[in-house]
Structure 1
Amino acid sequence: MVQDQFHELTVSGTRPQTDKATAIRFDLPDALKSEFAFKPGQYLTVRAELGGEEVRRSYSICCRPDDGLEIGVKHLEGGVFSSFAQGLKTGDRIEVMAPKGRFVAETGGKHDYLLIAAGSGITPVLSIVKTVLRDEPESTVTLVYANRNFDSVMFRDDLDALKDTYLTRLSLLHVISEEGQDAEILSGRIDAARLNDMKERGLIDPARYDAVYLCGPAPMIKTLRSTLTDMGVAFDKIRFEVFTPTPYGQPGGEHPPARPDLTGSEVEIILDGGRRKLRVDPSAETVLGAAKAAGLEIPHSCAGGMCCTCRCKVLKGSATMDQNWSLQPWELEAGYILACQARPETEKLVLDFDAT
């Protein structure tokens, strides 16, 4: 694995979306266009020094692959980076990593897609919808978009324009939880009962979709995945991306450390052909946290178990993960883990970041 590189890009413009969200567009020099080529649904990692510390975050690309480079940023309460990002203006420069991510749609041919997004989860979904509708003239898209109220709907103008352009191929359903609508079925939260109700009333037809894309908070993803499989949707047709499952960089509660008695482990990192050893206290830190404290730069982006940038393979020993929202079952069986979530459970642990 070649270490991921950041490139300094210039902000070419911003588009306010709501009072708490904005879209940020970057100018992309010709020399970087091939490196920043992306598939609809992928994200960018941005980095800045804030308060004397390096902070990086991942934001999904919300435009088509040949329509520039634009991300959507929603301000989070107490969010250090989102507050900074919303203050960016034309001409500012910021460090950006080339696109990554597995939540993608391969375009070409004919598809019928169902996409369900909540809040800022619309950003990667919007890229997919825009691309499929334009590049696949025989394809159809059903988009269910959940928000608290209409004032919080990101990219509303973009969605209205898509609906007007693709009248017969785009079905757009706004589900609002804190404001009433004329159609009762569209008032409330997206849950199992509502999804089943939509099916019964013919608003969605799970059996006919070539793929279903889910993007939003973790509880929604869990509920809808289970509901869709109960409806007969094949598990491998359901693709998902979790937004903000836990506070950035903080361990989740699903998999507590398996060895609370293990106060230290020797972890050997294999990266770009080199080897580096460090000590990790599994009761207090993850492998990524220990590496950063030791000044060792290993690939990472979201640090929340979502993006898979820090994927590595266990060659010796074992580790448990606080949470996992990106590794597939076959990867887990093959011994891959996420360094940002990994806590050693053996006195010796060898991790290979060069493994493919």
Structure 2
Amino acid sequence: MARFHQLRVAAVDRLTDDSVALTFEVPESLREEFRHAPGQHLALRRPADDGEIRRTYSICSPAPGPEGPRTLRVGVRLVEGGSFSTYALKEIAVGDTLEIMTPAGRFILEPAPGLYAAAVVGGSGITPVLSIAATLLAREPHARFCLIRSDRTAASTMFLDEVADLKDRYPDRFQLVTVLSREEQQAGLDSGRLDQERLTTLLPALLPVDEVAGWYLCGPFGLVQEAERTLRALGVRRARIHEEIFHVDDGAAPARPAPALAHSTVTAQLDGRSGTWPVDDGESLLETVLRNRPDAPYACKGGVCGTCRAFLVSGEVRMDRNFALEPEETDAGYVLACQSHPATETVELDFDR
């Protein structure tokens, strides 16, 4: 069960003009709870006038050893009008304490001998992939990783030093390709967007596409969609493609309004306890549960992070949008509670499964 804990800020490192890395100290008593797989994320929260603000940020530090993590590091990029990202860049200082949820997320790679993995990332999408690549290369001496990253300009590129360090440490096993969309490079690829046409030419020229065991796509919605279409057209099985989207513009991917159903109830199993409550008109199932169980897990409420994933035990639901669950998860019966509305008079969810 995900829980919030107070963690002290150990470092605030400026990465670019509009991004920072925050490092948190993890006391020995919490190291087991904050153990994470490479690629997982943390939800951060702070009080607000109308309750609280929660935002999800991926862990960029490598996965810990048996002793658990002594520190956790996340990358935060400023979002225009973003209340939490503005707070992170302008106010958070060393010594502050923040409320941090224990790690969550399934955009992960489990290191394996000889594994060949690749990633296509844009902007702050480098954050979880940095943890994935660093963990894999350190733990498996014969594994390889190819990183194709797209950024606007060199000055806007997050974690430049960390990626360069991976290249220096693993020159024969870490392949790096950088594309700038708004700035010409002295060497390397021409500037421009990584769209499907360009990726279709680029990927087979860089690496043997059919030998890559896992593809990790992370960044803006448009880039992730273009990369997925490219890989599918190149014959990559969907099971080998893993996606994480940090932000979705409403205009780019409109939500489907869920049909209203009067007199519905939801039963939810949460942290070993169960309850049944009526669903108010227009409410998502998460909103209904939160009215009665404020400890229900959530972060973005936008169908992106997957923190509110629950197993649909019985009944039917309509999901407005889903950018977090893999097809095999939805096929297995999992839904996003923040995007789900009842399509039958009774619905039962299990957040513990």
TM-score by length of 1: 0.90
Deviation at 1:264, TM superposition (A): 5.3
Is the 1:246–1:304 Cα contact (8 Å) retained in structure 2?
no
Deviation at 1:305, TM superposition (A): 1.7
Tell me the distance in 2 between the aligned counterparts of 1:237 and 1:328: 11
% identical equivalent positions: 37
The residue aligned with 1:92 is 96
Matches within 5 A, 1:241-256: 241-246=244-249, 253-256=254-257
Deviation at 1:12, TM superposition (A): 0.4
- Distance change (3 Å), C-alpha of 1:169 and 1:313: closer
Asked if 1:74 corresponds to 2:77, the answer is: yes
Deviation at 1:127, TM superposition (A): 0.7
Is the 1:185–1:194 Cα contact (8 Å) retained in structure 2?
no
The residue aligned with 2:274 is 274
Candidates 203, 208, 214, aligned match of 2:206? 203
- Distance change (3 Å), C-alpha of 1:90 and 1:184: closer
TM-score by length of 2: 0.90
The residue aligned with 1:213 is 216
Tell me the distance in 2 between the aligned counterparts of 1:315 and 1:208: 38
Choose 215-224 or 85-94, whichever is displaced more.
Answer: 215-224
Matches within 5 A, 1:309-328: 309-328=307-326
The residue aligned with 1:238 is 241
The residue aligned with 1:62 is 60
Is the 2:308–2:337 Cα contact (8 Å) retained in structure 1?
yes
Candidates 31, 51, 55, aligned match of 1:53? 51
Is the 1:10–1:27 Cα contact (8 Å) retained in structure 2?
yes
Write the deviation string for residues 259-307 of structure 1: whole angstroms up to 9, x where unpaired. Answer: 24x355333333222213132313xx32223444556432212222233
Is the 2:277–2:289 Cα contact (8 Å) retained in structure 1?
no
In structure 2, give the amino acid aligned to 1:152.
Answer: S
Tell me the distance in 2 between the aligned counterparts of 1:241 and 1:98: 19
Deviation at 1:170, TM superposition (A): 1.6
The residue aligned with 1:129 is 133
In structure 1, give the amino acid aligned to 2:340.
Answer: A
Please list every run of 5 or more consecutive structure 2 residues that lacks an aligned counterpart in the other structure: none
Aligned length: 346
Matches within 5 A, 1:324-343: 324-343=322-341
Matches within 5 A, 1:87-236: 87-182=91-186, 185-199=189-203, 202-236=205-239
Candidates 277, 280, 304, aligned match of 1:306? 304
Deviation at 1:246, TM superposition (A): 4.2
Q: Secondary structure at the match of 1:143?
A: strand
Tell me the distance in 1 between the aligned counterparts of 2:104 and 2:85: 20
The residue aligned with 2:6 is 8
Is the 1:58–1:302 Cα contact (8 Å) retained in structure 2?
yes
Tell me the distance in 1 between the aligned counterparts of 2:40 and 2:302: 16
Tell me the distance in 2 between the aligned counterparts of 1:134 and 1:297: 37
Tell me the distance in 1 between the aligned counterparts of 2:249 and 2:329: 23
Tell me the distance in 1 between the aligned counterparts of 2:235 and 2:78: 37
Deviation at 1:309, TM superposition (A): 2.2
CA RMSD of aligned residues (A): 2.3
Tell me the distance in 1 between the aligned counterparts of 2:113 and 2:207: 22
Tell me the distance in 1 between the aligned counterparts of 2:172 and 2:279: 59
- Distance change (3 Å), C-alpha of 1:221 and 1:295: same
Is the 2:122–2:218 Cα contact (8 Å) retained in structure 1?
yes
Tell me the distance in 1 between the aligned counterparts of 2:34 and 2:292: 30
Choose 52-61 or 19-28, whichever is displaced more.
Answer: 52-61
Deviation at 1:226, TM superposition (A): 1.7
Candidates 263, 286, 289, aligned match of 1:288? 286
Tell me the distance in 2 between the aligned counterparts of 1:327 and 1:269: 20
Deviation at 1:106, TM superposition (A): 0.9
